[in-house]
Structure 1
Amino acid sequence: MADVRALDDDLAAERALAIRILLARPIVDATRSPAEFRVVARNRGWLTEWFETSCGWQLTVDVMGGFARLAKRSAYPDSTRPAHRVRGGELPFDRRRYELTCLLCAELARHSLTTIGILAAGVEAATRTGPHERFDVTYRRERAAFVDAFKLLESWAVVSFSAGDVDAYVTDEEANAFVRVDTARLHRLLVSAMAPSSVSAATAEEAAMALAAEPRYGEAATDPESVAPDVRTRWLHHSLARRLLDDPVVYLEDLTDAQRSYLGHPSGRGWLRARAAEAGLPLEERAEGLMALDPEGRFDDLAFPVAGGTVAAAALMLTAGFFASEDSRRLVAVVSVASLIDTVRDRLRRHPGWAKKYREEGGPARLVDEALELLECLGLVRREDDLVRPMPAVARYRATEPKVPQRQEALL
């Protein structure tokens, strides 16, 4: 009996590991991450059902193709987690790079083997008419954005290159290379419930919201009583599990009345606790909200605090100004951005060797902006014009005196 329980515990631990792997990396490649892919592939049947039941997310595990794809969806697109450039310091994608990535994918769907030059010509032709800014390969900035789109797709193993160097295209518009396309992965990139071709929208924002919509929930998000009880329960389960498993912190103030009411009931709170436990994530429950913790620190897409890094150090330093006093756990209501800039400016003055790239005119303001962006991404603050509102979770980072255990005398 003990052996059976041990086997069950081992299986539950492996499945929890597989869940965390997919939450951290929705595309798992068998060649680049063989151990992680094997864990996912071994449990693919159970994982597929778990993600559908818990989150309403579709999981595809293509063993022959050598990849797993978790199609995450959210009714609340998160601008704090953009795609990042693989080269050039991992700067976030701008609008142009997103646009070229989409146009490039449309061209790649027509070829399994092609070249950079053919794809560039196709994108250029596609942008001669319509709402897109014309793609002009004679400009280096355009070629750089095009290469960033290629490199992002390469990082997902959607494309691979041979007989040439894609990076060379940035400096030389005549540079070329063969591009091999994994069409199975390419067609799994889109996770919207609606086909993009069916969306009619006047602005990019309207299009994004239309693609984020999920008709199977009906009007449950805005009018829970207008849908059938099973639809309402499904939406409550999926919407809450998505937030818990995919967001740094879930604040009750951000939830709807129906979601708060469900969490206030023992059965609703118990259901969510069980999902966190199955994922191997301890659930921290506070009056203000919930947080699923990664005890190993292996599956967070953004670690904080972290050793090294000027922005992370500045962010941690700024949190000290969010408390009423050094000895208090009470947060102030708001802090002005100007006062935070003064804090950074004073630190730069007192430590001449710190943050050298932020010492030029406007440097302190830029460092504060980047530090607040990091804190906002983690759900620790919210910016409201020229004011910063500390959120309850930031209290986890309050500086305290280190606790040194008293030396114990040996008893002889």
Structure 2
Amino acid sequence: MSRTGNQLARLESEEVARGVRLLLARPLVSAVYDHDGFDLIRRRREPIVKWFDYYCGWRVHVEPRAGYARLFKTTQRPDCTRPLFDRRRYMLLCLVCAELLASPTTTVDVLTTRIKQAAAADGLPSFDLDRRSDRTALADVLTFLEENGVIEGGEHLRADPSLITRLLAAPVPPSTVDTIEDLTRETRYESAHRSLWQRHSTMRRLIDDPVVYRDELTASQLAFLTSPTGRKVVQTGIGLAGCTLEERAEGFLVVDADAIATDTRFPDDDSNAKVAALLLLDRLAQGPARFEDLVEEARELLTKFRNWATAYQSDGGAGRLAAEGLALLEAFGLARTENGTVRRLPAAARYAVEELHD
């Protein structure tokens, strides 16, 4: 192959890897929110679609004219540690989308009235713009829809019904099931060869979770990951995505050096809870702790820095700060709570403070 050919092949592989990681970080990429990212995915859609289908069993839909790409991530292990919204905003999102499907062109005032009526008719908690919390919640939902290209306009709204229907990634229609377990059930694996589920489920865990411990994998997944064939498949797939696989005695970690595939980072100082979580790790490095011990640690922190974390400088603030910090540690695979005791997990060693010696 000529030098030019090598350069073109290298450029394609780099762009495919970037496109894969962009979709991992943000499963709905729109030209409105990220024009360059969407354009890259559009140009390299064939190898990107094939990567997700082969390694994860996930479907990618690219709509060039409508200007969006949607990765339909499905799992039988729904992650409740990193929700997009709280319960109230999810409810409003469903109501807003239902009304926009019925009337794609409307105004904020009309939409608000219909949401209020729909909530009352369905026996849901009341919605009232006179409440600041409801105004903020609705604004967050509309901002999310606008950033993802679902709606356009300010006071007068125009929605894309086809894109609204792409928001839900469940493998079956919600109206046909009764439980969450049924909603996430993938019937394709019931008649497929066992190795297909091994490959897809193992790769999903590795690329979707911050860290995967051996004791969290099923015997089938661990057998696949530790076999020569399975290991080669995993390493090849992760390499094609521009990442590397780190293996330790306790488990596995997929590293994206460019942090493109990362939807949230730790540690950083973009929230008080993340700062507190890092400091709670220092306490857990001394040994297991009860949640009450972490609350006391947060209380001492708030007392020492009275001008910091003002939202928590009130009654019950230490408990909320400790709970949010602990939730982050558990979400990032750095701590685990069992029988009321919190223990630091091996991956937390990455954040240990090292003493400097002369």
Give the alignment of 1:198-347 within 5 angstroms: 198-199=176-177, 201=178, 206=179, 208-218=180-190, 228=192, 230=193, 232-307=194-269, 309-324=271-286, 332=287, 334-347=288-301
Offset at residue 377 of structure 1 (A): 1.8
1:122 aligns with 2:94: no
1:38 aligns with 2:18: no
Aligned residue for 1:329? Answer: none
User: 1 CA distance for matches of 2:41 and 2:159?
Assistant: 24
1:150 to 142, 152, 168: 142
Offset at residue 296 of structure 1 (A): 1.6
Offset at residue 341 of structure 1 (A): 2.5
Offset at residue 349 of structure 1 (A): 4.1
User: 1 CA distance for matches of 2:302 and 2:167?
Assistant: 44
Deviates more, 1:130-139 or 1:5-14: 130-139
Deviation string, structure 1 residues 348-405 (Cα, Å, up to 9, x no partner): 444455444433333322221121122122111123464212222111111113589x
Q: Retained in 1: the 8 A contact 2:23–2:261?
A: no
1:375 aligns with 2:329: yes
Offset at residue 289 of structure 1 (A): 1.4
Offset at residue 309 of structure 1 (A): 4.0
Deviates more, 1:260-269 or 1:111-120: 111-120
User: 2 CA distance for matches of 1:257 and 1:374?
Assistant: 27
TM-score computed with the length of structure 1 as normaliser: 0.80
Distance 1:117 1:354, change over 3 A: closer
TM-score computed with the length of structure 2 as normaliser: 0.91
User: 1 CA distance for matches of 2:166 and 2:270?
Assistant: 36
Deviates more, 1:14-23 or 1:373-382: 373-382
Relative contact order, higher structure (CA 8 A, sep 6+): 2
- Residue 367 of structure 1 aligns with an amino acid whose one-letter code is L
SS in 2 for 1:109: helix
User: 2 CA distance for matches of 1:358 and 1:12?
Assistant: 47
User: 1 CA distance for matches of 2:136 and 2:26?
Assistant: 26
Deviation string, structure 1 residues 32-76 (Cα, Å, up to 9, x no partner): 322211211111111111111111111111111111111111111
Q: Retained in 1: the 8 A contact 2:32–2:148?
A: no
SS in 2 for 1:291: strand
Offset at residue 138 of structure 1 (A): 6.2
Aligned residue for 1:223? Answer: none
User: 1 CA distance for matches of 2:270 and 2:27?
Assistant: 27
Distance 1:278 1:135, change over 3 A: same
Distance 1:116 1:16, change over 3 A: same
User: How many percent of aligned residue pairs carry the same amino acid?
Assistant: 38
> What count of residue pairs does the alignment treat as equivalent?
357
1:363 aligns with 2:341: no
Distance 1:372 1:278, change over 3 A: same
Distance 1:124 1:367, change over 3 A: closer
User: 2 CA distance for matches of 1:36 and 1:63?
Assistant: 12
User: 2 CA distance for matches of 1:403 and 1:215?
Assistant: 58
How large is the Cα RMSD of the aligned pairs? Answer: 2.4
- Residue 42 of structure 1 aligns with an amino acid whose one-letter code is R
Which has the larger helix fraction? Answer: 2
2:165 to 180, 187, 193: 187
Offset at residue 345 of structure 1 (A): 3.1
Instruction: State the structure with more CA Rg.
Output: 1
Aligned residue for 1:398? Answer: 352
- Residue 15 of structure 1 aligns with an amino acid whose one-letter code is V
Distance 1:365 1:54, change over 3 A: same
Aligned residue for 1:167? Answer: none
Distance 1:386 1:287, change over 3 A: same
Distance 1:213 1:356, change over 3 A: same
Deviation string, structure 1 residues 112-154 (Cα, Å, up to 9, x no partner): 3122333334334434444534545665544543343322222
Distance 1:209 1:135, change over 3 A: farther
- Residue 325 of structure 2 aligns with an amino acid whose one-letter code is A
Gaps of 5+ in 1: 84-92, 163-176, 219-226, 325-331, 405-412
Offset at residue 242 of structure 1 (A): 1.2
Offset at residue 279 of structure 1 (A): 0.4
SS in 2 for 1:38: helix
User: 1 CA distance for matches of 2:212 and 2:43?
Assistant: 31
Deviation string, structure 1 residues 210-260 (Cα, Å, up to 9, x no partner): 221111112xxxxxxxx55x2x21111111111111111112211211111
Q: Retained in 1: the 8 A contact 2:214–2:222?
A: yes
Distance 1:278 1:363, change over 3 A: same
User: 1 CA distance for matches of 2:101 and 2:88?
Assistant: 20
Offset at residue 194 of structure 1 (A): 0.8
Aligned residue for 1:168? Answer: none
